[in-house]
């Protein structure tokens, strides 16, 4: 008998609504609320425990919440971990993603969750965690659990799974080969000729390798008068204060930070460093200005070549970071530039 | 051109002291065959013939080549410019022994392009060869100049394989076939009006030609494809031994000579020929490494297609990595010329599945068939019998296997189990069209 442990928030755990969202994590034996349905759908496996945690507690004390939950799991036999379904609930979705990712990395067991496409947790965690495509609200509970459990039962039985589309989870940018049934209609030769016949007839067909659309960003028009312009600096080179206060990841980043440089002539060694995992950091740690050239920009400011250097620089890590994440982070930065009337941004290469 | 292939179905192969084919059983005069092959090439120092059958608990490695045994009724050689003089191919009557293949195996030494075949167990599904009776020709040679080279021409053993295929084919040369496949390729300028109404479809083949040094690449009528420019061929020439496989390219991305003789995408196009399309032949290109060579070949393919009046094309490459540049370029240049394309090839998405699938991408590629991922890991238990030498996987730089990895250990373990990349299955991604693999998001 395989063992499954589940995670739900305070609401589905029966503790209460928004007023109980600060609930500290606790663990109970057996099922709670929706994990009963999960248990019912398991073949030759059972839900041995359920963890309940308030969304706010997980959101504002993430490290502490994860640490306590990992402690609770110590010594327990566990073959698979399920969080949610979280539907469209944003904080719950992020909590499910956070705990699934932590458990996958520390215990190396399969983890799954389910949430709605609109849930911010999808974009944040779909690369790391199998997230099933869920409904908007709890009315879809039975359906969402059903889809997820079909997959879970296969994984627990060591059976072959069929991929994101066929199973119903979000694609992760992770392509693997799959064997089709051995017959003429499934040979590449037959598939190729049939695809050509459809293309010839103008009928719909499914390419087996979709080429991602290249979104080219037009080059910005020149700044009319640099000597009056406020310039901001952005890098994907991972320059951060030495304690990395925003905990930006060293690869596949989903987080970014903005750091005050008011009154600084340059970024000093020992105060700033790079956390980028994609290159040898020695030169950047010895002189962070080689990636984030505050020293040169201050010179330009002094001689009046530019009007003003914006008081913050913006940083994240580019290595392994998806275009979608990069786009989201840029969108989050833009209001700050607008508020401070930044006229142009220099995005240095790394 | 009209090519007839008379088929006889082999249900078993026995080694004996005479040659015969009766009731599906092919009996091979083992010593006779071996002494014939040794007489043909004095670089061969040792030869053995071993039979491996579907379902056997047998692993064959390092596999150099697979070839279908065939003969020609009128006595012309089966592989022009290879097993004998350069003679025309593409028309006439062949005899083929179906259900079996000559499998050329290095007795001790492997090279970059050599691969693995498992006849039974979980590994069997990774190659088409496990469905055939493998007549394994296991040999040693005195080709000391390449003994410790990662890239080997394997000339003596490859040629011995082609000669054995023809030797076996000659056993049934004058027999009545059980059935006959007929491929008719009418002269393009003399086709009927009815055919002229159908869309014209060409197949662009990009056989392996990356080695600048001669002797490693595919041969067309015995001519090295590296010193070659695209030309027009009848598809029957490909089915008739005009093209043979080489020794370079990670194994799973190769087309073996057997696959060329039975090129599945050609056969599927013939199946639609005269019905939904007018199959106007093969534009034979190549896969050279320098950019100007790639561009020249792409331009010549485009111009041949335009001048033939090709409306649609299928493009397929024998390889991955550097050749993807040719594969993508050729499709783009055809699409730009108003000739919509379907591409057939494998992918390299890495062990985690997250790498870019082809070395270069273009949005104009909108109809692609994927035949596998070269970097998928295979872990398989030991087989009772090994034909060849497992140690070649650790020692000889075979693609997709290794002698040392700090996490995974060596590819061929002391207990006979193996761990390797998909790259190392002999023609395992069957880009020629045999593949029943695809690629999906996981």
**pLDDT per residue over B344-388, tens digit each?**
999 999 888 888 899 899 999 999 999 999 999 999 999 999 999
How many Å from the N-terminal Cα to the C-terminal Cα in chain B? Answer: 46
**pLDDT grade for A308, boundaries at 50, 70 and 90:** very high
From CA A180, how far away is CA B380, in angstroms rounded? 20
- With respect to residue A101, please indicate whether it lies within any of the assigned structural domains: yes
From CA A172, how far away is CA A165, in angstroms rounded? 11
Residues A163 and A234 in one domain: no
- With respect to residue A221, please indicate whether it lies within any of the assigned structural domains: no
Tell me the pLDDT tens digit for each residue of A98-134. 999 999 999 999 999 999 999 999 989 998 999 999 9
From CA A271, how far away is CA A261, in angstroms rounded? 11
From CA B255, how far away is CA B203, in angstroms rounded? 15
Closest CA–CA distance from residue A166 to any residue of chain B (Å): 9
Tell me the pLDDT tens digit for each residue of A183-206. 999 999 999 999 999 999 999 999
Share of chain A above pLDDT 70, in %: 99
CA nearest to B356, candidates B400, B321, B330: B321
From CA B242, how far away is CA B221, in angstroms rounded? 5
Task: Return the SS3 of A57.
Answer: helix
Q: Are B260 and B244 a contacting pair, CB within 8 Å?
A: yes
Give chain A's domain count: 2
Beta-carbon contacts of B148 under 8 Å, excluding residues fewer than 6 positions away, are none
Phi/psi of residue B99, nearest 5 degrees: 85, 5
Tell me the pLDDT tens digit for each residue of B178-198. 999 999 999 999 999 999 899
The neighbour count for residue B132, using CB atoms within 10 Å, is: 22
**Do the chains contact at B367 and A209, CB–CB below 8 Å?**
no
Q: How far does CA B290 lie from the centroid of its chain?
A: 24
Q: Which of A161, A165, A188, A319 is the best residue to mutate to test the B interface, defined by the most B CB atoms within 10 Å of its own CB?
A: A188
pLDDT value of position B355: 84
For B346, the token pair is 């494998």
Q: Which of A174, A179, A189 sits opposite B441 (nearest CB)?
A: A174
Specify the DSSP class assigned to residue A20. Answer: G
Tell me the pLDDT tens digit for each residue of A264-275. 999 999 999 999
Rounded to an integer, the average pLDDT of A23-42 is: 96
Domain that holds residue A265: 226-348
Closest CA–CA distance from residue A126 to any residue of chain B (Å): 11
Residues A7 and A89 in one domain: yes
For residue A13, what is the domain's CATH number?
3.40.50.2300
Task: Return the SS3 of A65.
Answer: helix
CA nearest to B286, candidates B257, B318, B259, B263: B318
This prediction has a pTM of: 0.84
From CA A209, how far away is CA B260, in angstroms rounded? 25
With both helix axes pointing from N to C terminus, report the angle between B30-40 and B155-171 in degrees, rounded to the nearest 10: 130
Share of chain B above pLDDT 70, in %: 100
**pLDDT grade for A216, boundaries at 50, 70 and 90:** confident
Determine the length of chain A: 350
Question: Checking DSSP bridges between strand B133-141 and strand A344-347, what pairing results, if any?
Answer: unpaired
CA nearest to A84, candidates A21, A127, A159, A135: A135
pLDDT value of position B229: 98
Rounded to an integer, the average pLDDT of A306-318 is: 96
Q: How far does CA B39 lie from the centroid of its chain?
A: 27
Of A226-230, A276-280, B28-32, B66-70, the range with the lowest mean pLDDT is A276-280
Residues A230 and A118 in one domain: no
Q: Could you tell me which residues of chain A have a Cβ less than 8 Å from any Cβ in chain B?
A: 161-166, 171-183, 186-193, 195-197, 199-200, 205, 207-209, 211-214
**Do the chains contact at A175 and B352, CB–CB below 8 Å?**
no
- With respect to residue A195, please indicate whether it lies within any of the assigned structural domains: no
Of A55-59, A273-277, B7-11, B369-373, the range with the lowest mean pLDDT is A273-277
Tell me the pLDDT tens digit for each residue of B68-121. 999 999 999 999 999 999 999 999 999 999 999 999 999 999 999 999 999 999
- With respect to residue A242, please indicate whether it lies within any of the assigned structural domains: yes
pLDDT value of position A320: 67
- Which residue in this structure is represented by tokens 């994860």? A66
DSSP B140-186: EE--GGGTT-SS---HHHHHHHHHHHHHHHHHTTTSPPSEEEEEE--
From CA B236, how far away is CA B230, in angstroms rounded? 17
Rounded to an integer, the average pLDDT of A34-42 is: 95
Please report the beta strands in A214-307, taking only residues with DSSP state E, as ranges in sequence order: 230-235, 239-241, 257-260, 272-274
Residue A106, burial from CB neighbour count under 10 angstroms (0-12, 13-18, 19+): exposed
**Do the chains contact at A208 and B369, CB–CB below 8 Å?**
yes
Residues A10 and A155 in one domain: yes
- Which residue in this structure is represented by tokens 């002539």? A265
What are the residue ranges of helices labelled H in chain A?
35-41, 55-60, 62-73, 90-107, 120-125, 141-156, 164-167, 188-201, 282-286, 294-302, 323-339
pLDDT value of position B358: 92
From CA B316, how far away is CA A39, in angstroms rounded? 49
- With respect to residue A176, please indicate whether it lies within any of the assigned structural domains: no
Question: Checking DSSP bridges between strand B312-317 and strand B368-373, what pairing results, if any?
Answer: unpaired
From CA B225, how far away is CA B218, in angstroms rounded? 6
Instruction: Give a three-class secondary structure readout of B296-342.
Output: HHHHHHHHHHHHHCCCEEEEEECCCCHHHHHHHHHHHHHHHCCCCEE
Closest CA–CA distance from residue A177 to any residue of chain B (Å): 4
Chain B residues with CB under 8 Å of A207 CB are 365-368
Task: Return the SS3 of A131.
Answer: strand
Which residue of chain B comes nearest to A171, CA vs CA?
B441
Residues A232 and A163 in one domain: no
From CA A125, how far away is CA A252, in angstroms rounded? 11
Q: Which of A173, A205, A208 sits opposite B438 (nearest CB)?
A: A208
- With respect to residue A121, please indicate whether it lies within any of the assigned structural domains: yes
**Do the chains contact at B265 and A189, CB–CB below 8 Å?**
yes
**Do the chains contact at B201 and A188, CB–CB below 8 Å?**
no
Chain A residues with CB under 8 Å of B280 CB are none
Tell me the pLDDT tens digit for each residue of B322-352. 999 999 999 999 999 999 999 999 999 988 8
- What is the residue-averaged pLDDT of chain B? 97
From CA B381, how far away is CA B391, in angstroms rounded? 15
DSSP3 helix / strand / coil % (chain A, rounded to 5): 35, 20, 45
Residues A321 and A247 in one domain: yes
Task: Return the SS3 of A274.
Answer: strand
Beta-carbon contacts of A148 under 8 Å, excluding residues fewer than 6 positions away, are A38, A82, A85, A112, A114, A132, A168
From CA A280, how far away is CA A258, in angstroms rounded? 23
Q: Which of A147, A167, A187 is the last residue of a domain?
A: A167
Tell me the pLDDT tens digit for each residue of B233-282. 999 999 999 999 999 999 999 999 999 999 999 999 999 999 999 999 99
pLDDT value of position B67: 98
A254 has pLDDT over 90: no
Residues A230 and A161 in one domain: no
From CA B115, how far away is CA A200, in angstroms rounded? 37
Residues A17 and A156 in one domain: yes
Give the neighbor-by-neighbor strand order of the sheet with A45-53.
A26-29, A45-53, A2-9, A80-83, A111-115, A130-133
Residues A73 and A146 in one domain: yes
Tell me the pLDDT tens digit for each residue of B308-326. 999 999 999 999 999 999 9
Residues A42 and A141 in one domain: yes
Q: How far does CA A324 lie from the centroid of its chain?
A: 10
Residues A67 and A136 in one domain: yes
- With respect to residue A251, please indicate whether it lies within any of the assigned structural domains: yes
Q: Which of A179, A191, A196 sits opposite B201 (nearest CB)?
A: A196
- With respect to residue A213, please indicate whether it lies within any of the assigned structural domains: no
Residues A62 and A149 in one domain: yes
């Amino acid at each position: 008998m395989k063992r499954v442990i589940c995670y739900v928030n305070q609401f589905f755990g029966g503790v209460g609504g928004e007023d109980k969202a600060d609930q500290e994590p606790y663990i109970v034996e057996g099922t709670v609320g929706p994990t009963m349905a999960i248990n019912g759908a398991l073949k030759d496996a059972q839900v041995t425990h359920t963890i309940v945690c308030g969304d706010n507690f997980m959101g504002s004390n993430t490290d502490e919440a994860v640490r306590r939950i990992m402690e609770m799991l110590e010594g327990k036999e566990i073959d698979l971990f399920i969080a949610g379904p979280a539907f469209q609930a944003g904080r719950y979705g992020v909590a499910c993603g956070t705990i699934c990712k932590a458990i996958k990395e520390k215990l190396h067991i399969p983890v799954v969750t389910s949430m709605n496409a609109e849930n911010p947790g999808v974009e944040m965690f779909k690369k790391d965690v199998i997230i099933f495509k869920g409904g908007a609200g709890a009315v879809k509970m039975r359906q969402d659990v059903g889809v997820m459990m079909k997959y879970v039962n296969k994984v627990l039985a060591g059976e072959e799974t069929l991929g994101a589309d066929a199973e119903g989870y979000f694609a992760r940018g992770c392509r693997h080969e799959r064997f089709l049934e051995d017959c003429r209609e499934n040979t590449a030769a037959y598939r190729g000729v049939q695809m050509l016949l459809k293309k010839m007839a103008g009928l719909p067909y499914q390419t087996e390798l979709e080429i991602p659309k290249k979104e080219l960003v037009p080059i910005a028009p020149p700044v009319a008068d640099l000597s009056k312009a406020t310039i901001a600096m952005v890098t994907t080179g991972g320059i951060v204060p030495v304690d990395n206060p925003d905990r930006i990841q060293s690869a596949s980043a989903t987080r970014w930070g903005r750091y005050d440089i008011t009154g600084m002539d340059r970024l000093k060694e020992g105060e700033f460093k790079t956390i980028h995992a994609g290159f040898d950091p020695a030169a950047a740690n010895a002189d962070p200005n080689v990636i984030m050239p505050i020293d040169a920009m201050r010179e330009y400011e002094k001689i009046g070549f530019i009007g003003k250097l914006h008081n913050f620089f913006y940083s994240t890590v580019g290595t392994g970071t998806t275009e979608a994440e990069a786009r989201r982070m840029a969108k989050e930065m833009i209001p700050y530039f607008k508020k401070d009337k930044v006229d142009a941004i220099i995005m240095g290469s790394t | 051109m009209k090519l007839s292939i008379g088929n006889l179905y082999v249900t078993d192969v026995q080694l004996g002291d005479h040659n015969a084919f009766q009731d599906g059983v092919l009996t091979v005069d083992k010593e006779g065959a071996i002494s014939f092959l040794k007489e043909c090439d004095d670089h061969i120092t040792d030869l053995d013939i071993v039979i491996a059958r579907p379902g056997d608990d047998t692993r064959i490695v390092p596999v150099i080549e697979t070839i279908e045994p065939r003969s020609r009724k009128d006595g012309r050689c089966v592989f022009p410019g290879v097993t004998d003089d350069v003679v025309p191919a593409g028309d006439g009557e062949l005899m083929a022994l179906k259900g079996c293949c000559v499998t050329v195996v290095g007795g001790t030494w492997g090279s970059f392009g050599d691969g693995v075949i498992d006849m039974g167990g979980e590994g069997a599904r990774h190659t088409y060869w496990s469905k055939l009776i493998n007549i394994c020709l296991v040999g040693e040679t005195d080709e000391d100049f390449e003994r410790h080279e990662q890239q080997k021409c394997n000339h003596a053993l490859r040629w011995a394989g082609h000669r054995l295929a023809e030797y076996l084919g000659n056993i049934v040369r004058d027999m009545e076939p059980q059935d006959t496949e007929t491929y008719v390729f009418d002269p393009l300028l003399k086709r009927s009006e009815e055919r002229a109404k159908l869309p014209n479809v060409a197949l662009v083949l990009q056989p392996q030609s990356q080695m600048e040094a001669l002797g490693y690449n595919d041969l067309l009528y015995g001519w090295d494809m590296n010193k070659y420019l695209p030309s027009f061929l009848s598809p029957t020439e490909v089915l008739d031994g005009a093209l043979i496989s080489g020794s370079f390219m990670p194994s799973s991305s190769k087309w073996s000579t057997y696959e060329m003789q039975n090129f599945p995408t050609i056969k599927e196009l013939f199946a639609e020929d005269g019905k939904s399309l007018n199959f106007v032949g093969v534009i034979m290109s190549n896969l050279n490494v320098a950019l100007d060579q790639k561009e020249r070949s792409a331009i010549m393919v485009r111009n041949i297609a335009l001048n033939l009046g090709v409306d649609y094309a299928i493009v397929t490459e024998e390889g991955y990595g550097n050749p993807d540049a040719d594969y993508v370029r050729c499709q783009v240049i055809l699409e730009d010329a108003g000739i919509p394309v379907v591409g057939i090839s494998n992918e390299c998405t890495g062990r985690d599945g997250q790498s870019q699938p082809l070395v270069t991408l273009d949005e104009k590629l909108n109809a692609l068939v994927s035949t596998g991922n070269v970097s998928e890991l295979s872990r398989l238990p030991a087989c009772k019998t090994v034909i060849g030498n497992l140690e070649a996987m650790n020692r000889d730089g075979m693609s997709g296997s290794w002698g040392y990895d700090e996490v995974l250990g060596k590819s061929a373990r002391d207990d006979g189990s193996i761990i390797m990349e998909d790259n190392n299955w002999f023609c395992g991604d069957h880009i020629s069209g045999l593949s029943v693999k695809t690629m999906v998001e996981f």
